[in-house]
Structures are given as C-alpha cells and as structure tokens.
Amino acid sequence: MVTKGMRVGKYELGKTLGEGNSAKVKFARDIFSGQSFAVKIIDKSRITRLNVSFQIKREIRTLKVLKHPNIVRIHEVLASKTKIYMVLECVTGGDLFDRIVSKGKLSETEGRKLFQQLIDGISYCHNKGVFHRDLKLENVLLDAKGHIKITDFGLSALPQHLREDGLLHTTCGSPNYVAPEVLANKGYDGAASDIWSCGVILYVILTGCLPFDDTNLAVLCRKIVKGDPPIPRWISPGAKTMIKRMLDPNPVTRMTIAGIKANDWFKHGYIPSHCDDDDDDDASLIQEYGSEDEKSPDSPTIINAFQLIGMSSFLDLSGLFEIEKVSERQIRFTSNRLAIEVLEKIKTILIEMGFCVHKKYTMLKAIKEESIRTGRGGLSVTAEVFEVIPSLNVVELRKSHGDSFLYKELYERLLNELGTSSQLLT
C-alpha cells in the first residue's frame, strides 16, 4: 500500500486525488524541481484480474504521441514488481461533470470557449489518427486557469484498429454519449462518432442536462437513434444549429471538424490553441526521460537503474501488455562494446543483409523490400542502443512488420556478433 510521503523514483507521493476499479491517482512532487504531477498507480494483479491490461497499454501508447495544451500530458512511466506508475500532468480544477453539477449550465460565451478548446484537442487527435471513443463530461478536466484537458484514452483507437472496410467495430463508450452508428454494430467512423459525443457535451454545457436520457436502456437507445433532442428556447440560433448538425443520426451528413471550425458561431472570439508537438513521436518514454543532461545528438541514451530493472521480463511494460510474445516482436540484449561501436556494427550488419538504413541519433530504422526473385518477404525494424555505463549497453531490436524468419535471422546474427548471451533480456 502506498502511503503519504512515499517516494517512487524522484517523485514524493501525497494525497489521493481519485480512485477507480484498477487504479488510484495521487498527487506527487518532483523532489528536485518541485514541480507538481499526478501519478496514476496501477496494480498489475488487479488489471490482470479485471482483464483491462489492453486499456492501460492503449492509454500509455496513445498519450505518448499526444502533445497538445488541451490534452493531459504523460511525462514518464515507471514500474515496480507489482505496480505501474504513470506520471501525468497535474490538473487541479476537477472535471466538467462536477462543474455542471455544482454550478449548473454555463453561459453561451463561457461554454463556447470551452467547446472551442475541446474541438481543438479532438481535431489534433484525429490528425494524429487517434479516436477517443469515450468522450464525456467526466473525461474533460479543467486546469487552474479554467482551460480544458481531455483525459482517459483507455478506449481510444488508432489506424491499425481499423478493419478492411476502413471502419471501427468495437462497441464502446458511455450510453448517454455514444453515437447511433456505434449502437448499430455495423462499423463506424471514429471521427464522426467523436463529433457526436462532442455534440452531447456542448448540449450539456449550454443546457445543464443530457440531450438523450432514460432509465430504460432500450428507450435510451431508441432516442439516440432517432436524434432530434429538445432545444431550450434560450439557446441562440447559432448554437442550436451547431447542436442539431453535430447530433445528426446520419454520420455521413453529420457536421465534420472542418465544418465546425468554419461555422460563424464557433469562430466568435476563437483563439486556436498553440500546439507544442515538437517531439519525435517514435521516441520511447525511456529515451525521452532517461537523462536531463546536455548531450550531442549522437550520444547514446543513458538509462537509470530503475528503468533497466523495468526492462527485465518480470517488470517489462511491453511484456505485460503486448499480445505477441516479446521474442516475436522485440528483443533486448546487452553488449560490452562501446555504444558507438555497437551502433556502427548493427548498421554494417543491416547493410550486408540488404537493408536500407536510416540513422537518427542512437536509433536505426531499416527496411528490406520483398524480393520476388528469391521469394523472401520484406522486413521493417528499428534498433536502438541505451547506455547503462560506457562499457555496458542495452540493445533493443523491434520488428514493425514483415518476414518473421528474416527477423529471426537478423537478431540471431546480432546476438552472435554483439551480444552477451548470459545477459539476454527477454
């Protein structure tokens, strides 16, 4: 049990901010910088028992690539033998649900300002190929300045979750906010379903009540499929049009993000959020937060002991969450050579095996096209070197897609020529 004053890495944990079925969130402070954070503490045994590990995996992966002022930011992921610690941006203003319950509906001016931020955040997600799929008042937080922060991406979807028809098929979300096409269970467009949920949120912000509600779930579903929510007389014509077009039961004719941003009611007083997405989306969390020291671009990423422990099989986040076995998609091993030597040797081996290699800092991205002449499949991999100390480095090889036999041939050659087999990390 985590108690007040306990430290995890460089973070001192404080009071509990919230608690759910599989996790609790605690206030935390960086003991060196004094900066405040929220640490989501996830019990490994509990998420395994509740069968929600895929949601945690998805939330970490998604937040890793989302860097926007209206989306809760993830800073670091740590692990112990029994728990996972997600270090998140600390948002202190509660959520929109509590705000509406305690103070009622917002003025149209205030509501529009929050709605503009919501659309900015969701527009950014969609441009990144991320569909939230569980947008509701409880998942929209407010910071100390009253700006919104979208959170809880556990049910989000990425492009790889689309089926052959280009649609999503998992029925998920909260009943009062879910789009009618999701209920139909015939496939749906993630962007259009998110827009429906944003329409529900706008309705609640401006009226103080839900557009579709009933204690009987079947009746609720019929209301959602029918659409046409009652619009109070005090709602302005511009806001009424916006709500009606976003809550169009037909996803094909439903208002799009582009249509929302071009709308005169939406544009009134609109100041777009400044996106600070300057980081490399492919960089791992270990790389981003391994060291704060200044270093040249080609210097190896330095990892601390806590992160190295997290790479071992009994603590490894990827081992906990990946569907495939680690050895099928990812392998790590140690090498006693200098990091620069290791990187150059990997590059030489890849070129000798016919790969086209692109080097970026301490990461190599390599692609080998499918060969019609030999009948061998293609392969895309990344290789990265992490420095523990100058004479000890961790090599991580990851398969993106392609020929499993070629991948096995590659990593066996790397192990034979570079690795220390007794120190293989799986």
What b/e readout covers 165-202, taking b as 16+ CB neighbours within 10 angstroms? eeebeeeebeebbbbbbbbeeeebbbbbbbbbbbbbbb
CB 400 within 8 A of CB 340: no
> Does residue 40 have a known ligand-binding role?
yes
- DSSP assigned state of 160: G
What is the distance between the alpha carbons of residues 270 and 266, in angstroms, rounded to a whole number? 7
Name the pairing type of β-strands 83-89 and 7-8.
Answer: unpaired
Q: Residue 131, SS3? A: strand
Q: Residue 183, SS3? A: helix
DSSP one-letter string for 322-375: -SS-HHHHEEEEEESS-HHHHHHHHHHHHHHTT-EEEEETTEEEEEE---TTT-
Query: Tokens 């799009």 identify what position?
Result: 256
| Set 95, 134, 152, 316: catalytic member | 134
Specify whether 134 is catalytic.
yes
Phi, psi for 270 (deg, rounded to 5): -75, 125
Query: Tokens 């569907």 identify what position?
Result: 323
DSSP element (H, E) containing 38:
strand 36-43
Q: Which residues are annotated as a binding site?
A: 40
- The set of catalytic residues is 134
Q: Which residues are annotated as a binding site for ATP?
A: 40
